């Protein structure tokens, strides 16, 4: 169901949408926004206003009669117990691949944003492509030699940048207010490994547009007006970035959860919605990283937080642009982006590094101090080789001493019930940590993380026949949990990282 028309509380469609989403028809709010109306929405909404007044009205029956409900991806896929995990993943690529989307009148009433090339979805309730997930999925496609899919997905993301001005969280209209961690430059790097350096020049315009999206409003920042959308001017003049969402309303795909959270908090609801949406842009939805009280989601303050991982990713984008301009002979632009990367690198040490804890912290601009939560976001500066060896050594020591568990690395040290906290471990963060440690010659630690993570993935696969979205790294006999929805299997980035590690 398209969310583009849900803008007016006086609109029959918006009233119907709200009442259905606040009911218990679907345990998962995402189900309804992924549904497709069987007749024009205006007709269904008008019919709803009449039918709901009848004493025998059955809301669930009404929804099923008027909407085509989505199916979970790979829900009926049966694992062959005789297959190795590598064979299982290679078979799953085709199951998780979506064909190019038809741009028809039917698409106009669907929330799906059509894409011109095939793409791999994560699986389960995630029936569409996701931005940062896709990079880690591509690592596995690389190991499988599926360069056709990789190139098609990179072209899809370039298409979204060129037609939408940025890469949305996923190819759904209800994600239009936000993006996700900017991994597009790394996708281009990956494709260049296969097709050569000419790839960089091909995607240069899209890379520049992506950078402009994240830096929108930066030239206008002043000491009196220090923030705009995703950019923040610090007291020393440094420009750093935060996560944001342009819409201050409940997420359509998590409408009931957001509506009830804001009602319970009783604070400024628009601010609450924006903090929640910004956390969704981070990909870490949700984590104590974004809370002033680690155990209370009502204290979420995402747009007050400058995240260390986001700023490391944008450093990489600046370095990538500098490299491309240098190779194409544009020295002025090359110097500009090199200078921007250097300034961000210096700001990283000024604002995120804590000598006492020997770790990188996010920075809270409202409190003018570092946030207390320790998280695996601290490995991103190592992944992008932003720091001196002595700093990397301290981070590596902390990772091994505090984050290493039986099944790999825990996401944070806080047990809050949020899915991006302990006891969960996630494939993308294992990859970033392993590669980051290797960059600074902590190979033994990197290999130990790899060994534990691979063993956990294999154990769960042998026990359940599934590769899942997240894992319990503290107790390997238990599955990962927490968050707004049930544990999902499929699963794109788990498959990709595991296959890449096994292929080494």
The span from the CA of 228 to the CA of 246, in Å, is 11
Of 253, 309, 469, 489, the active-site residue reads 469
DSSP 283: S
Whole-number pLDDT of residue 3: 47
Indicate the burial class of 40 (C-beta count within 10 angstroms; 0-12, 13-18, 19 or more).
exposed
3-state secondary structure at position 288: helix
Whole-number pLDDT of residue 483: 80
3-state secondary structure at position 484: coil
Whole-number pLDDT of residue 105: 47
Whole-number pLDDT of residue 104: 52
Of 101, 245, 285, 489, the active-site residue reads 285
**% of the chain exceeding 90 in pLDDT:** 90
Least confident of 107-116, 199-208, 350-359: 107-116
Q: How many CA atoms lie within 13 A of 127 on its CB side?
A: 21
Of 105, 36, 101, nearest in space to 71 by CA: 36
Which one is predicted more confidently, 481 or 91?
91
Whole-number pLDDT of residue 102: 72
- Summarised one tens digit per residue, pLDDT across range 71-82 is 988 877 888 988
Whole-number pLDDT of residue 480: 84
Whole-number pLDDT of residue 471: 97
CA-to-CA dists, residue 399 to 357, 414, 426, 446, angstroms? 12, 15, 15, 10
Q: What is the pTM of this model?
A: 0.96
Helix (H) or strand (E) run with residue 282 in it: helix 269-282
Rounded mean pLDDT of 294-307?
97
Whole-number pLDDT of residue 103: 65
Whether 19 is catalytic is no
**% of the chain exceeding 70 in pLDDT:** 97
The span from the CA of 188 to the CA of 200, in Å, is 7
Rounded mean pLDDT of 427-437?
98
What's the mean per-residue pLDDT of the chain? 95
The span from the CA of 213 to the CA of 303, in Å, is 17
Q: Is the pLDDT of residue 146 over 60?
A: yes
Do you find a cis peptide bond into 423, omega within 30 degrees of 0? yes
Which one is predicted more confidently, 329 or 104?
329
- Say if CB 77 and CB 92 are below 8 A apart: yes
Whether 28 is catalytic is no
- Say if CB 2 and CB 10 are below 8 A apart: no
Which one is predicted more confidently, 294 or 10?
294
Q: Is the pLDDT of residue 2 over 80?
A: no
Q: Which two tokens stand for residue 493?
A: 């980035």
Q: Is the pLDDT of residue 108 over 60?
A: no
Whole-number pLDDT of residue 489: 81
- Summarised one tens digit per residue, pLDDT across range 224-268 is 999 999 999 999 999 999 999 999 999 999 999 999 999 999 879
């Amino acid at each position: 169901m398209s969310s583009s028309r849900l803008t007016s509380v006086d609109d029959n469609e918006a009233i119907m949408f709200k009442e259905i989403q606040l009911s218990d028809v679907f345990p998962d709010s995402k189900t309804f926004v992924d549904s497709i109306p069987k007749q024009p929405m205006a007709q269904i909404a008008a019919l709803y206003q009449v039918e709901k007044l009848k004493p025998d009205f059955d809301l669930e029956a009404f929804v099923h009669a008027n909407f085509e409900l989505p199916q979970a991806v790979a829900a009926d896929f049966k694992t062959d117990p005789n297959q190795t995990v590598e064979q299982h993943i290679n078979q799953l690529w085709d199951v998780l691949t979506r064909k190019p989307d038809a741009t028809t009148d039917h698409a106009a009433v669907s929330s799906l944003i059509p894409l011109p090339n095939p793409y791999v979805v994560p699986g389960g309730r995630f029936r569409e492509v996701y931005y940062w997930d896709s990079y880690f999925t591509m690592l596995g496609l690389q190991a499988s030699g599926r360069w056709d899919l990789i190139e098609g997905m990179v072209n899809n993301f370039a298409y979204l940048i060129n037609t939408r001005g940025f890469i949305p969280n996923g190819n759904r209209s209800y994600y239009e207010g936000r993006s996700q961690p900017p991994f597009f430059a790394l996708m281009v790097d990956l494709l260049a490994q296969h097709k050569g350096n000419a790839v960089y020049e091909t995607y240069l315009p899209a890379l520049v547009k992506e950078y402009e999206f994240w830096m929108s409003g930066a030239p206008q920042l002043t000491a009196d007006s220090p923030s705009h959308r995703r950019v923040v001017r610090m007291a020393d003049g440094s420009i750093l970035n935060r996560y944001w969402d342009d819409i201050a309303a409940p997420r359509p795909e998590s409408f009931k959860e957001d509506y009830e959270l804001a009602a319970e908090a009783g604070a400024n609801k628009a601010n609450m919605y924006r903090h929640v949406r910004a956390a969704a842009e981070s990909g870490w939805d949700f984590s104590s990283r974004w809370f002033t009280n680690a155990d209370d989601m009502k204290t979420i303050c995402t747009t007050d937080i400058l995240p260390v991982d986001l700023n490391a990713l944008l450093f990489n984008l600046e370095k990538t642009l500098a490299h491309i301009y240098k190779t194409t002979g544009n020295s002025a632009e090359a110097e500009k982006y090199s200078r921007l990367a250097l300034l961000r690198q210096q700001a990283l040490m000024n604002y995120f590094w804590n000598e006492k804890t020997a770790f990188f912290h996010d920075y809270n601009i409202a409190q003018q101090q570092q946030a207390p939560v320790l998280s695996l976001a601290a490995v991103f500066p190592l992944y992008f080789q932003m720091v001196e060896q002595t700093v990397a050594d301290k981070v590596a020591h902390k990772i091994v001493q505090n984050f290493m568990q039986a099944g790999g690395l825990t996401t944070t040290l806080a047990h809050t019930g949020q899915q991006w906290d302990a006891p969960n471990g996630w494939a993308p963060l294992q990859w970033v940590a392993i590669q980051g440690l290797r960059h600074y010659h902590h190979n033994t630690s990197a290999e130990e993380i790899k060994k534990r993570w691979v063993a956990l993935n294999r154990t769960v696969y042998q026990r359940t026949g599934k590769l899942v979205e997240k894992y319990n790294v503290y107790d390997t006999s238990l599955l990962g949990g927490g968050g707004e929805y049930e544990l999902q299997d499929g699963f794109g980035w788990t498959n990709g990282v595991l296959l890449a590690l096994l292929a080494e």
